[in-house]
Structure 1
Amino acid sequence: KPHAVTARTVIPRGVINMLALLGWNPGTEQEIFSMQELIDNFSLERVSKSGARFQPDKAKWFNAQYMHHKSDAELAALYQPILREHGIEVSDELAGRAAGIMKERATFITDLWDLTSFFFVAPTQYDEKQAKKYWKGDNPAMLRELREVLAGIDDFSLENTERIVHGWIEQKGYSLGQVMNTLRLALVGAGKGPGMYDVTSFIGKEETLRRIDNLLRNLKPGE
């Protein structure tokens, strides 16, 4: 997928790191350098005499590495303008938390909206392939049962919800994959995203139940 490379898209330190290595070789396998490390290690003797060759894929790799190492607070500052463009007004804490959960899958800051939009916007459509695979048979009834389990949880933290739901799945003898993928369809609308308890703890109990109700009400199960 092509990207329009802009000042907002790239991490400046990643660009500096990449440019430094275009015509200079440190003599080691190290590729990620802090600014001070570049200053300390640079020498004219290791500058290549041949022409430097720009590699777009390597540039993307550098950008991804620098983004993956940013803190949630740093990511929030970069991601908030994109969220506001989509009409999302949230705290820096929530913006950074969403970005932090999914940053390992992103190359550019602008990738984050596609990767995290479901944290902020409930699905209004459901992926046809996922629905055909999971919204059939016993799964709708199983999701109704799961809704009741979730409704009875007071501490909706990731760890506590996971403990209670997994205990219920084991007790009922259900397939973990069937339960989680059916829940993913309800909460995300597609077969993507992080672990489901990352999603439930982020959107909270009320929104989790509302999204389950939306699926139960709006999508007819398959045969």
Structure 2
Amino acid sequence: DMGYMPEALVNFLALLGWNPGTEQEIFSMDQLVEAFSVETLSRSDAVFDIKKLDWFNGVYIRNLTPKELAARVRPFMEKAGYAIGDEAFLEQAVTLVTDRLGKLTEAPDMLGFLFEDQVDLARESFGGKAKFTSADIARALAACEAALSGLAEWTHEGIEASLRALAESLGWKVGDLLMQVRVAITGRRVTPPLFESLVLLGRERSLSRIARAIAVLEESAHGR
């Protein structure tokens, strides 16, 4: 299975060599049955545009409710080795990537960090355009850990305000500091939205990952 929704594939294939005579591109099955006519079939060769198919699939994905999308994504997550015990958690997780998914097969790569006990951390993933040493990043993450530990409530607004204020007090650019947290939490530089991911992971798991990242960076700083 390549991650295409059957409805999207049918819609895409129906428009190969057939023109409805309007600008409409998204059709339900009932609409296709009603609108289709052999009289409007094109005599030209059809062009199978995979990018167009991806676009159709993305539209259909975004039209799903979180519950529906979770049900579609679950088999791909399980095939990738992720145990989905809490359906409600998966429903929350898919809302982070609904606008980014082109195919259902992309979900495990985007969401896997939420279902792992620990993520793989590579020293080269940290840093950024500025030249930060491992010790610099470890100290910054230690400050993040302390600031986040002291939050009264684990909310998007509280986390964001805390980290932005911390960046200013440390003399870091906000984007640079958030990148270190992003890598510590997910193991990657390109991920779903950071603050929403932290909220979904929860305080305990998030702080545990930051602490582990600090340990990895301190080992790197000492050449171990």
TM range (shorter): 0.7 to 0.9
Kindly state the Cα deviation for residue 81 of structure 1 after the two structures are TM-superposed: 2.4
Query: 2:99 is matched with which residue: 90, 97, 104?
Result: 104
Q: Please, what is the CA RMSD of the aligned residues?
A: 2.3
Give the corresponding residue for 1:141: 139
Q: Flag structure 2 segments of 5+ consecutive residues without an equivalent.
A: none
The TM-score with structure 1 as length reference comes to: 0.85
Kindly state the Cα deviation for residue 112 of structure 1 after the two structures are TM-superposed: 0.4
Give the corresponding residue for 2:187: 189
Taking the aligned partners of 1:179 and 1:72, their CA distance within structure 2 comes to: 31
Taking the aligned partners of 2:195 and 2:127, their CA distance within structure 1 comes to: 23
Give the % identical residues.
29
Give the corresponding residue for 2:163: 165
Task: Tell which deviates more after alignment, 41-50 or 173-182.
Answer: 41-50
Give the corresponding residue for 1:93: 88
CA contact (8 A) 1:123 1:189 kept: no
Query: 1:71 is matched with which residue: 55, 61, 65?
Result: 65
Give the corresponding residue for 2:152: 154
Q: How many residues align?
A: 217
SS of residue in 2 equivalent to 1:113:
helix
1:113 has 2:108 as partner:
yes
Taking the aligned partners of 2:211 and 2:62, their CA distance within structure 1 comes to: 35
Deviation track 1:115-170 (CA, whole Å, cap 9, x = no partner) reads 11111114443244323645535221111111111001131121222123223333
CA contact (8 A) 1:82 1:110 kept: yes
Taking the aligned partners of 2:144 and 2:127, their CA distance within structure 1 comes to: 20
CA contact (8 A) 1:122 1:187 kept: no
Amino acid at match of 1:146: C
Task: Tell which deviates more after alignment, 48-57 or 16-25.
Answer: 48-57
1:59 has 2:53 as partner:
yes
Taking the aligned partners of 1:158 and 1:177, their CA distance within structure 2 comes to: 16
